[in-house]
Chain A
Amino acid sequence: MYKTWKGVQPYLLATPQTLVFLLFLIFPILMIGLVSFWEFNGYTMVPGFTLSNYADVFTEVSLRTYLNTFKYVVLVWFFCLAIAFPVSYFLAFHIQNQKLQIILFLICTVPFWTSNIIRMISWIPVLGKEGLINSLLLNLNLVEQPVEWLLYSDFAVVLGMVHLYNFFMIAPIFNSMMRIDRNLITAAEDMGASGFQILKEVILPLTAPGIAIGSIFVVTLVMGEFITVRLMGGGQSASVGKLIQTQIGSLQYPLAAANAVVLLIVTLFLVAGILRVVDIRKEL
């Protein structure tokens, strides 16, 4: 009796989580996969099997949207890394006081105390035509007309997303850097490495897993983005996420589902690509 219980126990313990996964992750994905082959008659979807939804995904307009999404991914990833690496480096190696280190790291999380949408909306009074920056520029007579590209532009979208997702890059990089044995740096100095060489030969390779994990976060989040694109891009900017949302809005579920399937596959390829370059196992 006891023996059977012992054998069954682990499966019982894993059951709730398995059910949640099956019901809320696997099942919806299977449904989306199924619906992506259904037909659309103009106002509702009809069960069936057609590849026309996928044919639509590979039209020029839709491909351009994918390219635009990649552009956001690359830009946001680049700026997140460019900001997160020095910030983490500063926190990990220049702040000697552990208490201060923790406090400063927590300060990085402050933006998460409000919702994404509020954080995005709060950019509008800063970047808008009559916003803070434009009034400043006008008052200083640096420009004659308000700068238009500050808001409702690719610039605004990238800015918003970098703001939103930067911390997802800082946290894993900081974590990786904190694990680096300080003696390794002293040893490198002892062997004549310059500051730049220490960065290149010791800190960067040992931080690579953190960079990879941060990159996976940022890439997957940006790939599916639509709120920031909508709020900060106005009507001007497009992304696959926003495209899917628009299609859902016009009840074209099969088309939206086909797009979602393609987006999922593309994102998985990107993640696989990152994992191929960097071995993150030792970080987990």
Chain B
Amino acid sequence: MNSSVSASEAQPTATAKLQQELASQAVGVTLRAVTKKYGSFTAVENISLDIPAGSYTCLLGPSGCGKTTTLRMIAGHEDITSGELLIGDRRVNDLPPTQRNTAMMFQNYALFPHKTVWENVEFGLKMRNLPKAERIQRVDEILEIVGLTKFAQRKPAKLSGGQQQRAALARALVTRPQVLLLDEPLSALDENLRVRTRSELRKLQKQFGMTFIQVTHGQDEAFALSDQIVVMDHGRIDQIGTPEQIFQMPASRFVARFVGDNNIFVGKISDVLQGNQYAILRLDVDGIGSFLCRGQAADLGMTAACCVRSDSMTMTPYPPTDPTLPNQLTARVVAIEFTGYVTRVSLMVEATGAELTYKVRSHDWIANPVQEGQLVTLSWTTENCVFLSH
């Protein structure tokens, strides 16, 4: 009882000190036309990216999209084939990992199984030849911050998943890096713990004001954590934006599909109008309808796509009140799936066989249900229909 009291008293000061130190030295990371080739295979192609100091950035994409390679290039574990990498204002292309002032947290943590938690955390300091007294002080301090003081003498195998994760975090933070690189740090945890650890990570990042760059393939994780999301596909960046921007204004069909729950329509541009804040394009989709969507100016007659989020559509009984209005279509309800808070409705446009999803709050659905096999009209506003240039 006593020890826990004194620990919680000591914590704020230790944390505050470290917080100050880490926040004052946070730097940004800049990639300029960075390319990585393995023989004839291009893993990362010509990416340019600005990661502001003290921000939480997620590299998001499916496996093989080049996100991990990008992270490893920043860490210095992969050579850069061409382009420039800057950490702060230093060009670090040719510096070894230790001289970049980054620290990496690995997927599955890569804790040394033969060393205790304390020795694991000490490792980086020992390799830097810090005096023993300072090592002891720093390791004890960081273990206190992540709440592992009691487990300092345990081997990693004797820790739970969440404790291992915190030990790995302590090991990465103890060298006071300017940038923390995280490779899927939550993937080894079960769902409940993942959500909890996610918010702990975010809290810690905010508290220390450090630059965090994280690789993930889960959009939920990226949305929950990031100030900035970088969506990657096939070694290229598809979109950079805040979680809200990625969610509401996907820039490409890939992003719209990857983020999920988007209905994508492909058609030809038949008209370009100038709206107040953005251009309005008319997209004619064969057999389905004519949609107005928001976007940037584009060529008439060009094949393009637009997307509507499945939760920003309105479902009304067939037939539509005014068939001449744009942004509506007729479809038949194929399946209804109750998933708790939300009900998912699968629909099909009979003329073309195109499949759609409609999501509605279960509360509203129960008040106003539709039977399977019924024809319905789906409509939406131009605001919610986003033009996708590629």
Total contacts A-B at CB 8 Å? 53
Q: Does A272 contact B (CB under 8 A)?
A: no
Which of A39-47, A163-171, A197-205, A259-267 touches B? A197-205
Interface residues of A in 188-204 (CB under 8 A from B): 188-194, 197, 201-202
CB distance from A279 to the nearest CB of B (A): 10
Q: Does A187 contact B (CB under 8 A)?
A: yes
Interface residues of A in 150-184 (CB under 8 A from B): 181, 183-184
Known A-B contacts A191-B123, A191-B127, A197-B127; A186 and B110 likewise in contact (beta carbons under 8 Å):
yes
Q: Does the CB pair B110–A192 fall under 8 Å?
A: no
Q: Does the CB pair A186–B98 fall under 8 Å?
A: no
The interface residues of chain B lying within 8 Å CB-to-CB of A206 are 113-114
CB distance from A175 to the nearest CB of B (A): 16
Q: Does the CB pair A189–B97 fall under 8 Å?
A: yes
User: In the complex, what residue of chain B is closest to A186 when comparing beta carbons?
Assistant: B77
The interface residues of chain B lying within 8 Å CB-to-CB of A205 are 114
Q: Does the CB pair A187–B127 fall under 8 Å?
A: no
Chain B interface size, under 10 / 10 to 19 / 20 to 34 / 35 or more: 20 to 34
Q: Does the CB pair A181–B110 fall under 8 Å?
A: yes
CB distance from B154 to the nearest CB of A (A): 16
Q: Does B308 contact A (CB under 8 A)?
A: no
Q: Does B258 contact A (CB under 8 A)?
A: no
Query: Is chain B's binding surface mostly helix, strand, loop or mixed?
Result: loop
Q: Could you tell me the distance between the alpha carbons of A198 and B98 in the complex, rounded to whole angstroms?
A: 14
User: In the complex, what residue of chain A is closest to B75 when comparing beta carbons?
Assistant: A190
The interface residues of chain B lying within 8 Å CB-to-CB of A191 are 98, 103, 123-124, 127, 171, 175
Q: Does B108 contact A (CB under 8 A)?
A: yes
Which of B77, B98, B114 is most buried by chain A, counting CB atoms within 10 A of its CB?
B114
Q: Which 3 A-B pairs have the closest CB atoms?
A: A191-B124, A192-B98, A183-B110
Q: A190-B76, A190-B104, A201-B123 are in contact. List 13 more A-B contacts (CB 8 A).
A: A181-B108, A184-B110, A186-B77, A186-B106, A186-B110, A187-B112, A189-B96, A190-B97, A190-B102, A191-B171, A192-B124, A192-B127, A192-B128
Can you list 25 A-B contacts with CB-CB less than 8 angstroms, sorted by A residue number? A183-B108, A184-B110, A184-B112, A186-B77, A186-B106, A186-B110, A187-B110, A188-B127, A189-B77, A190-B75, A190-B97, A190-B104, A191-B98, A191-B123, A191-B124, A191-B127, A191-B171, A191-B175, A192-B98, A192-B124, A193-B123, A193-B127, A201-B123, A202-B112, A205-B114
User: What residues make up the interface of B, taking CB atoms closer than 8 Å to A?
Assistant: 75-77, 96-98, 102-104, 106-108, 110, 112-114, 123-124, 127-128, 171, 175
